[in-house]
Structure 1
């Protein structure tokens, strides 16, 4: 059975980070999804988060197979 791991990275503008991760790691990422983490506002908009009024961070969450791609490789890419 293949083990899939999940990692979440807060790294500024999530669209750019997602694009860079997909370009660098391609099919080694089983899933890449952007969103917001933390904060106190339910269902915040991009403008609210970018304006700094919600306490949220923009994040990228990825699923990967550790036997094919290590967490250290992902982290070093940031």
Structure 2
């Protein structure tokens, strides 16, 4: 019973008092968000192309021979 009384007497706090996280964006806000996303996508594409060109220009990376472990260095007899 005390739980119910505390709940009823408690001030309206929590999710009801918080601003609505799912509010609709205005048209100008949607347009701004869309242009930001387009700019981010264009930047990502430019970075990807630059990385691909750099990889093609430098060729394959050299492969280093694996180091011998200490067990292989000392022949066991």
State the TM-score, normalized to the length of structure 1.
0.19
Higher strand proportion (structure 1 or 2): 1
* Greater C-alpha radius of gyration: 2
Q: Give the number of the structure with larger relative contact order, counting CA–CA contacts within 8 Å between residues 6 or more apart.
A: 1
State the TM-score, normalized to the length of structure 2.
0.19
Higher helix proportion (structure 1 or 2): 2
